[in-house]
Structure 1
């Protein structure tokens, strides 16, 4: 009977342990993949996840399950991503709001930079500054003048504290040196209804929501947050064209994984997502949904974007005195 000394046995076991992860990566993916969305079905991050998930299934020949984990302004879903095994089978959608939450709430159940691995920024989203169709406010200049003359008399709505509409409104007030009262609703749909019902004076609404209502005569557009005019609203000026400088905010949505994901899998995800986001069919579908596919970039570049956003919003939260409650 052949025997093996202790040193040789430990060496063989070590080699086996090293070989197993490498083999698992070479065989990746060999089971369903989960994309966690921190918002309810039908929200922009959910729609983006489903568009990308559909293409991932085609690319990798494995089921892709979109799992909605709403709650706590998106923290519940992202916490689930951060605490998942870093094996490439669980990723999540991260968006602008997540870079504001640490400063707004003081703490989150995860560390945004330490516990998450950026894979790719996927899309940019633009908003339209709108007022009810019957509002006396007819331009951005008019809104700023009225808000400047009567601090806190005008109101702006949002889908909740820390939501993109809230952040855009706060940044707009900060940039223009005005004060408008923020009125948070329970969600984006409720905030739009509040605007239509005259409960608030203005709001930053996503293009997918604003464009149909503008065309239907229910809302009046004042400006768009995009760098150039939108094809869907060619007569509506940009914020910059309206005379407001220094307001370069745009929403973004990307994919992150748990920290510790092996570099080979980070690279595989990055390359696959870049290939998906350059497909014309995907670009067209996102454009129809009010999104613009982001140009493919490196995970490091996405990490830099997240870091710069954390820094920007931390300063704005302090200077504007934003509070979670």
Structure 2
């Protein structure tokens, strides 16, 4: 009799739980939403967040505030997300850098695997190897040859230790055995200014930053990290075409929430983000910035990507002995 009652109770509870989840999702959101960007305004994650925020406000009829929390190569902003209330009203933009920081610094104030819930990957971003016009190299191979001829004399800049430009730069050094010195700055904007001023020799800049500067003749593009040429820079070869085969590296940017955020809320975010990223106007806007909208993906698929990237960059740090400069 007890077992029968327990079974009947459980069967009755299942529809009730489902109804409760449905009702909660239907009532969400009922107040302003915050999207934390761990980099300064104007950075690719910031631009992506603002594109998404505008569409979310229209769809959900609630204010969506983009809050920039730069510092410590993105760790300050991501910590703010991880330690926020898991109610769906605070999310953050996570990118490639966050999967190398634990291995690079040994310990961060949050656990990337346990304290954050991946919602969806939103965009892919490629980098462009650029140099000041005063640098004589006109291809990636020529830059590597120049570094071989002048060991330790050439420098490359980045927006900080563990930033995408740093990781791509170290990958280039590993692939070509080029002896170049890494110079980290407080952010991508400072690194680009140093490059324009001739204070550093090269940089793997994001396409959104590199394209207008290259088109204006202020920098020379040597190669792109994409597997095929970019429509925004059709005359610039890929790394393979430029003499560095087997080099295919792209950045990713997605949305995460604090661990413990209700599953139904995560699902609602995932569905809405997929709808937004399919909008022609959004895809066109990202394309103008040389960003590629990611195909629709589930929370589980994005979690798998983050997990794989954590393992990949941990191996990379150990294999190369990469240090925070």
TM, length-normalised to structure 2: 0.91
Q: Which residue of 1 aligns with 2:122?
A: 122
5 Å matches for 1:276-315? 276-315=276-315
Output the CA distance in 1 between the equivalents of 2:37 and 2:165: 19
Q: 2:69 matched to 1:65?
A: no
Q: CA deviation at 1:153?
A: 2.1
Q: Which residue of 2 aligns with 1:7?
A: none
Output the CA distance in 2 between the equivalents of 1:312 and 1:41: 29
| Matched residues, number | 311
Q: CA deviation at 1:308?
A: 1.3
5 Å matches for 1:198-237? 198-237=198-237
Alpha-carbon RMSD across the aligned residues, in angstroms, is 1.9
Q: Which residue of 1 aligns with 2:144?
A: 144
Q: Which residue of 1 aligns with 2:133?
A: 133
Q: Which residue of 2 aligns with 1:194?
A: 194
Output the CA distance in 2 between the equivalents of 1:91 and 1:263: 14
TM, length-normalised to structure 1: 0.91
Cα deviation code 1:85-130 (max 9, x no counterpart): 2111111000111111001110111100111100011111111101
Partner of 2:268, secondary structure, is helix
- Structure 2 residue runs of 5 or longer lacking an equivalent are 1-12
Output the CA distance in 1 between the equivalents of 2:37 and 2:193: 24
Q: Which residue of 2 aligns with 1:31?
A: 31
Q: CA deviation at 1:30?
A: 1.2
5 Å matches for 1:56-95? 56-95=56-95
Partner of 2:113, secondary structure, is coil
Q: Which residue of 1 aligns with 2:175?
A: 175
Q: Which residue of 2 aligns with 1:6?
A: none
Q: CA deviation at 1:280?
A: 0.4
5 Å matches for 1:100-111? 100-111=100-111
